[in-house]
Structures are given as C-alpha cells and as structure tokens.
Chains A and B, each alone.
Chain A
Amino acid sequence: MIADTLQVGFLPLVDAAPLIVAHEMGFAAEESIALDLRRGPSWSAVRDMLSFGRVQAAHMLSPVPVAAALGLGGTGTPLSAVSVLSVNGDTIGVSNALAARMRQSGHDFGYRDARAAGAALIAHAEHPLRLGVPFPFSMHAELLYYWLSALGMPAPQNVDIRTVPPSLMAQALEAGEIDAFCVGEPWGSIAVENGVGQLLLPGNAIWSFSPEKVLAVRSDWAAAQPDLVGRLIRAVWRAGRWLAEPDARTLAAELLSRKEYLDLPSELLDRALTGRMVISQRGEERQVDRFVEFHRGAAGFPWRSQAEWIGMQLAARTGLDRAAAAKAARTVFRSDLYRDALANTRAELPGASSKIEGTLREQTAVASVSGRLFLEPDAFFDGRIFEPSKD
C-alpha cells in the first residue's frame, strides 16, 4: 500500500514531540501515512502555511484556531483542532534582578504555589510589569492574564504583555526588554542555562490541565478528507501513548534533539519530559508532576469546554460579544472527529464532550464509552470553576 504523504508544520518546541514521534517511531507508517515535517520560523508563518494549504496539518497554539473563529488575526480561513497535542508544558521565569529581590524578601522559589509566587512577583515588580509571551493568541498569554488578574493585578493597566518569539525570549530578558516571561520548553531552561533568568512557576500551577498545543487542520480539508484526518489522529494518539511510557523519555529527548527538529542538547529537552526542572543556574532542581502531558487523563481529547474557556477569555479582553464567542469557539475543538477516529481502538473516550472545567482536584474516575477513564486534576489555582454552555 502506497502511503499518503501529509505535510505538517511545527515549531521547535518539546511539545511538538507527538508529531516527531509519530513519524520517527513508525506510528504514522502504521496508518499508511508519511509525515513530511516542516519546521516553521514563527507561529504566524505556520498558521499561514496551514491556511494557504502549504501544509495539511500543524502543531498549533490552542488559542490560534479559536481566535481565527472569532475573526482575530490570521487570514479568515476556518481552522479545526482535531486533537489536543499536549497539556501543560509552559514555564514562567523572571530576570535575575527580579529573582534576587524576591529571594531577599523570603520567596522560596518552590516552583509550585501560584498564589505565593504571584504575590512575590507583584510585590517586587516595577510598574508596569513587562512580560514576554510567544504569541498574542497563546495559552501562555491566557495563563498570565488569568493568574495576575485573579491576584489583583489586572491587565492592561499594570501589566504589559509583549510578543517575543520563544527562541528570542532569553535574549529579550538579558537585554532588559522584559522582566519575566511565560514560554514553552526548552526555552525557559535555555534562559536558566544562559544565566539570564530563573524559573518561578510551571504553567500547570495556574491551571492544572490546560490544553497547550493542538493538531490543527483547515476545516474544509477535514470535511473533504475524513479518512486521512482519522489516520492522522490515530497516529498522534499512539505517539502520545508511547511518550507516556517512562522508558520512552530518554529516546524521545534524543529524537527531538536532532538537527532537523529542535537542534538542541537532549539534556535540556529531558527536563520538561521528565518534569525534573532546573530552576536556577546554581542547579536547584524541582520535580513537577504532569509538567507536560501527552496521554494520561485523555490528554488528546479536544473538549469543547476547553475551547469555550479560551473563547470567553479572548472575548472578554477584546470586547467581543460573549455568547457569540462561546458559540463560535466550542465548534473549533472537534471532539466529534476525535471520537470517530478512535472509535475502534483501545483509547478510553469520555462519555461527554464538554465538562465543567476546574472541578477536579485529584485523579478522578469518570464514565467512559467502554468502561472507566481516569481524568487528571484540572483545577484552577484560585478554585474558580468554568461552566460551559449546555450542549
């Protein structure tokens, strides 16, 4: 059987792992597809490559297709998220100067408590606090807005959130253009390694189960190629399952470090994959559970409620009609296509396609299509819950 070749865009980040593994470990070949992985220079370039059909699928920031559905940024081409590629995986870091002030007043850099870290940051930041994020429509930006406004430091009055490409984040911190950042790995670790900053908090301390990257395709392509979409979803799901095996991490770090992918030392990539983060140049280590998750807790399932949460955050900030935004956003995460693709596999799929976000404080068994599925904690640090509109 001759394989169908799919061009797939990605950015050099640890959470591109499911696509790289699907290709390198033969999970794509099992579905008779060949992935032609194309490394993109920027998120806007990858989004446009997808919109104009230069690639058929892409590693994409979860808010980008939602923003497109709300008419924010991009070319107006409707995009669909057919799977979540990764949950969590961001890290917040601060400049050495800011870290020194925070340490002096007793903050322990425990890399765990969002309330304590946020309070220390707010107490010692200059005003306005300048924060770098990779893209205006990113989970990084959403987590920062949510965290800082919940702690009484709302944007944009006191916070200046700026776009800095991940690969330039450490440089921007060193040049004093920003005081802090939220970025995907390994770019936070690179700031530590270069001695320009220290890590303050993992993204999952703010929201313990945030959809970080999605597998995005053009909506019209998904409608025209249901079979190819299904094969792609299955290949990526199997890659995620493989990545969840503890033994797989060393090899995954080696694969990702190759020249054509991240082209960075595997030791740096290993940190996010194992959750053993080095937070300062002095070598202080912090172990983080679920630093980045590719599989457990139905990580790949594109919950409509996740898309709706993103849509509501974007609408609130840009002054769009909330009800309309919620409605447009929820259709972007294609739990329907995901279910179809994995119907005859061993994947445990949840019974519902939408859930109240933020209620789970620990691992919880829920009804699944074929039996029982364990969902991972999905709480927000401030205990708020998000109730999506009814199906």
Chain B
Amino acid sequence: MVTLSIVVVEPDRDRALLIVDSLRDAGDFDVHVISEPTGLARRIQAISPDVVLIDLENPSRDMLEELALASGPMDRPVAMFVDKSGAGLTDAAIEAGVSAYVVDGMQPGRVKPILDAAIARFRMFQRMRTELAETKRALEERKMIDRAKGMLMRARGIDEDAAYALLRKTAMDQGKRVAEVASALVTAAGLLG
C-alpha cells in the first residue's frame, strides 16, 4: 500500500511537533506541516496530500473550502472527512476541535487511525487551552482583588483581613463575585483620580 501523505495546518510549532509525533506513532505516514496561512490552498495543492488536518478554531480553514471545488483534471477533489465517517467519529472529531479533509473516495478505514491520533492530541490541546484561560483569569482576578484590598486598607486604615472581609460582605450583599466588586472599586477609583 502506498504511504498516505498528511498535511497538518498548525501555526504553533510545538503543537505541530506533538501532532507529528502522534501521527508517526499511529502509522507510517508522510507528514507535512504548514504553519503560515499565506496561500494555504495553493500550498496544499502543491503537496497534493491524501489528508489535511486543521484546527476547527483556525479561521484559515475557510481557505480549504476552495479545494472542494476542483476545477481541473489534475486537482484533487477533497471532502470534509467527518461527513463520510461513522457518526461516533464525527462527533469525537468536532468535540475535540479537529477538522479533516480527505481526498474524495478514500476508504474511511485507512483514515481512521490518523483521525484517532489527531483527536487524542487535539483533546489534550483543548484541555491545555481551557486550563491556560482559567489560570490567566484567576491571576487577573487575584491582582484586581489585591489592588482593591490595598485601596481599602489605605482609605479606611484597616488591615488586610478586614479589607478582604469588607469586599466579601459587599459582594454577598449585592449578589456579585468578590472579583467583580474589586474591579468596580478599582475602576471607580481610577475615574475619580
């Protein structure tokens, strides 16, 4: 059987390497990585792969839709893979945030291990993305609460614990989160100068 060629569209170098490793573990594939959105459709056409994997969140994915309109006999028509595969795989792929385009007419069985590997990898990315966003948010909130505490301590001459207790009580009274009250205080103080 001829080795399948796969193009991975991924701007982040580390992520791309992880995907390539997973695919190598899953089988003997010829893997190319494209990291730049510039001329994406034409570059893919030049490589003429059997499968294209791209992050569902990548806005450049729309460029691949052009490939679905094969205009010449040398062009390889592509179809989005998930519509031709089993329902379970479709859902798993969408859930994990990966979209795959394959050459029309390829047997789903040959693509399944590729997609399985990609899905596993993308799921991990998704978890990392969520964790990162959560961590960032928590950090920002912590900074905001610290600033608000400092303002209260100076303005009212109270200690840190009392300042935090005051924030927490106000938040409870207003049905808001402590971070929201802190942020309102910092904004208002900024406006008043």
A contact set with B: CB distance below 8 Å: 41-45, 48-49, 51-52, 54, 72-76, 134-137, 156, 162-165, 167-168, 172, 175, 177, 318
B51-63 toward A: CB 8 Å interface, digit per residue (1/0)?
Answer: 0000011111111
* Contact status B66-A136, CB under 8 Å: yes
Residues from chain A with a CB closer than 8 A to the CB of B103 are none
Q: How far is the CB of A377 from chain B (nearest CB, A)?
A: 31
B150 within 8 A of A: no
Task: Please judge, given known A-B contacts A73-B65, A75-B83, whether A167 and B99 are in contact too, CB under 8 Å.
Answer: no
A45-B61, A72-B68 given; 11 more Cβ-contact pairs under 8 Å:
A41-B61, A42-B58, A42-B60, A44-B65, A48-B99, A52-B90, A163-B41, A163-B65, A167-B59, A172-B38, A318-B69
Q: Is B71 an interface residue (CB 8 A)?
A: yes
**B66, B71, B82: the one within 8 Å of A163 (CB):** B66
Known contacts A54-B94, A73-B69, A75-B82; A44 and B38 CB within 8 A of each other: no
Residue of B with least CB distance to A319: B71
Are B64 and A44 closer than 8 Å at their CB atoms? yes
Q: Given the known A-B contacts A44-B64, A75-B82, A165-B59, are A156 and B71 also in contact in the complex, defined by CB atoms under 8 Å?
A: yes
- CB <8 Å contact, B63 and A41: no
Q: Which residues of B contact A72 (CB under 8 A)?
A: 68-69
CA distance A369 to B37 in the complex (A): 50
**A166's closest neighbor in chain B, by CB?**
B59
Q: Is the CB of B60 within 8 A of A165?
A: yes
Chain A residues near B61: list those with CB within 8 A: 41-42, 44-45
Question: Can you report 16 A-B residue pairs in the complex whose CB atoms are below 8 A from each other?
Answer: A41-B61, A44-B65, A45-B56, A48-B80, A52-B82, A52-B91, A74-B80, A75-B82, A136-B66, A156-B71, A163-B62, A163-B63, A165-B62, A165-B63, A168-B37, A168-B59
The 3 closest A-B pairs by CB, nearest first: A75-B83, A165-B59, A42-B62
Residues of A within 8 A of B56 (CB): 41, 45, 48
- B70 CB to closest chain A CB (Å) equals 10
**Structural contact, B59 and A41, CB atoms closer than 8 A:** yes
Shortest Cβ gap from A93 to chain B (Å): 19
Cα(A163)–Cα(B154), bound, Å: 57
B101's nearest neighbour on chain A, judged by CB, is A44
Complex Cα distance, B95 from A54, in Å, reads 9
Q: A72 to B71: give the CA distance in the assembly, Å.
A: 13
Contact across chains for B65 and A135 when beta carbons are under 8 A apart: yes
B38:A135 contact, CB within 8 angstroms: no
Nearest-CB residue, chain B, relative to A164: B63
A137 and B69 CA atoms in complex are apart in Å by 10
- State A51–B68 Cα separation when bound (angstroms): 17
Q: Report the Cα distance A72→B68, complex, angstroms.
A: 8
Q: A52-B90, A75-B83, A168-B37 are in contact. Are A43 and B62 (CB under 8 A)?
A: yes
- Residues of B contacting A172 in the complex (Cβ-Cβ under 8 angstroms): 38
| Contact residues in B for A134 (Cβ distance below 8 Å) | 62
**B39 at interface (Cβ–Cβ under 8 A)?**
yes
Residues of chain B within 8 A of A175, CB atoms compared: 38
User: Which of B39, B66, B94 lies in contact with A48, CB distance below 8 A?
Assistant: B94
Question: Which residue from chain B places its CB closest to the CB of A161 in the assembled complex?
Answer: B66
**A52, B58: Cβ atoms under 8 Å?**
no
**Closest residue of A by beta carbon distance from B41:** A163
Per-residue A-contact encoding for B26-49, CB less than 8 Å = 1, 0 else: 000000000001110100000000
CA distance A175 to B63 in the complex (A): 17
Complex Cα distance, B83 from A74, in Å, reads 8
How far does the Cβ of A259 sit from chain B's closest Cβ, in whole Å? Answer: 13
Q: How far is the CA of A172 from the CA of B63 in the complex (A)?
A: 13
- Give the chain A neighbours of B62 by CB distance below 8 A: 42-44, 134-135, 163, 165
Q: Which of B59, B68, B90 has the most CB of A within 10 A?
A: B59
Per the bound structure, the CA–CA distance linking A76 and B83 in Å amounts to: 8
B89 CB to closest chain A CB (Å) equals 12
Give chain A residues whose Cβ lies under 8 Å from the Cβ of B37: 168
